[in-house]
Amino acid sequence: MAAALNRALADALDADERVLVFGEDVGPLGGVFRVTDGLAARFGERRVFDTPLAESGIVGTAIGMALNGMRPVVEMQFDAFAYPAFEQITSHLAKMRNRTRGAVELPVVVRIPYGGGIGGVEHHCDSSEAYYTHTPGLRVVTPGTPDDAYALLRDAVECPDPVIFLEPKRHYWTRGDVPLGRSSLGMDRALVRRPGRDVTLIAYGSMVSTALETAEAAAEEGWDVEVVDLRSLTPFDDATVTESVRRTGRAVVVHEASGFGGYGAEVAARLTERCFHHLHAPILRVTGFDVPYPPPMLEEHHLPSVDRVLDAVARLQWDDEVVRSGVGA
């Protein structure tokens, strides 16, 4: 996936001279995850450059550059290191179009490696998506697969709105075929990664693969599981997800972030509002616990696993339906 993102940045830099890439260690080093590898050498340090180590400064200056016609793509080195930029993101980046009645457009992409599962020490593994999805004016997207990483990042760079681009860092090394053409799907649409009849698993980022593995395991138990990859967290693709859940009548939302006040709560609430009469069971969430991200030796207990998701699927009141349909009476 890192290589797909790298290629997307290179192609974006190539396609539009207003695109700039900057942040900490993104120059000669190529980023700590090598996502910007070779870009400084190829495009020069006027377009790809290292900045002082200050995240508010990186996003704040990106705003000024966008005000002057540039299209900055900035890197926050890790999820938790983006917090110093929070005020610039929420008070300025997200609101500038609205504050100025559309007169000022800020096409800035903030790339943030997020999530755990890589044995990272504290402050390197946060799932911070809900902070951003709760902020009107931002678009928040996250690829679940290498092929989508390329298409989504190209779309994000061309988007006239500011985009928080969350990169599931445990998939940086995941391999896959990456078509270099542009997806006709666009940036806002969710994607059914695996069709199924019995239950919809709703996932994004690192959990897409977990959901797909769960679907395989569930098939052995006799459940036909549909997997929806959200891709875009805001705006939320109500149409695609609602259609799926109305059809299957059961849903589980999966994410790494803590559950309380988390993104899954919004998904479950929206689906309940829209699909209530189609549901055979409450919508369940499988999430990280409501604890600060654990140390590496304990993170396996925190992260939603295939078994934990499968357990949730099993709790979807299948027996009630059997009773209701009279089959098991």
Partner 1 sequence: MARTVLPERQRSLLPSESPLALIDSTGVPVPDPVLEMPPDEVLLELHRRIVIGRRFDTQATALTRQGRLAVYPSSRGQEACEVGAALALREQDWLFPSYRDCVALVARGVDPVETLTLLQGGWHCGYDPHRHRVAPQCTPLATNALHAVGLAHAARLKDEDTVALVLLGDGATSEGDAHEALNFAGVWRAPVVFLVQNNGYAISVPVSKQNAAPSLAHKGIGYGVPSLLIDGNDPAAVHAALTDAVDVAASGGGPTLVEALTYRVEAHTNADDATRYRESDEVAAWLARDPLDRLETYLAARGLLDERRRAAVTEEAEAFAASVRERMNAEVETDPAELFAHVHARPTAALREQATLLAAEIAGGAA
Q: Is 73 in the site for partner 1 (CB under 8 A)?
A: no
Judge whether 189 and 231 are in contact, CB under 8 Å.
Answer: yes
Catalytic residue among 124, 171, 255, 302: 124
Place of tokens 């298409």: 151
Toward partner 1, which CB reaches closer, 239 or 314? 239
C-beta of 110: minimal distance to partner 1 in Å? 14
For residue 7, give both structure tokens: 């290629």
For residue 27, give both structure tokens: 């120059």
H/E run at residue 263 = helix 263-275
302 is catalytic: no
Q: Tell me whether residue 325 is exposed, middle or buried, using C-beta atoms within 10 angstroms of its C-beta: 0 to 12, 13 to 18, 19 or more.
A: exposed
> What one-character DSSP code corresponds to residue 116?
-
Q: Is 88 in the site for partner 1 (CB under 8 A)?
A: yes
Q: Is 136 in the site for partner 1 (CB under 8 A)?
A: yes
For residue 252, give both structure tokens: 């589980």
Ranges within 144-163 binding partner 1 (CB under 8 A): 159-161
Judge whether 144 and 204 are in contact, CB under 8 Å.
Answer: yes
C-beta of 61: minimal distance to partner 1 in Å? 3
Toward partner 1, which CB reaches closer, 62 or 153? 62
How many chain residues interact with partner 1 (CB under 8 A)?
A: 47
For residue 245, give both structure tokens: 């859940």
Q: Is 89 in the site for partner 1 (CB under 8 A)?
A: no
Q: Is 21 in the site for partner 1 (CB under 8 A)?
A: no
Q: Strands 139-141, 232-234: parallel, antiparallel or unpaired by DSSP?
A: antiparallel
Ranges within 237-276 binding partner 1 (CB under 8 A): 238-239
CA angle 107–48–18, rounded 5-degree value: 40
Interface with partner 1 (CB under 8 A), residue from 15, 41, 54, 291: 54
Residues forming contacts to partner 1 in the complex (CB under 8 A) are 20, 46-47, 51-52, 54, 56-57, 59-70, 84, 87-88, 91-92, 95-105, 136-137, 139, 159-161, 188, 235-236, 238-239
By annotation, the residues acting in catalysis are 124
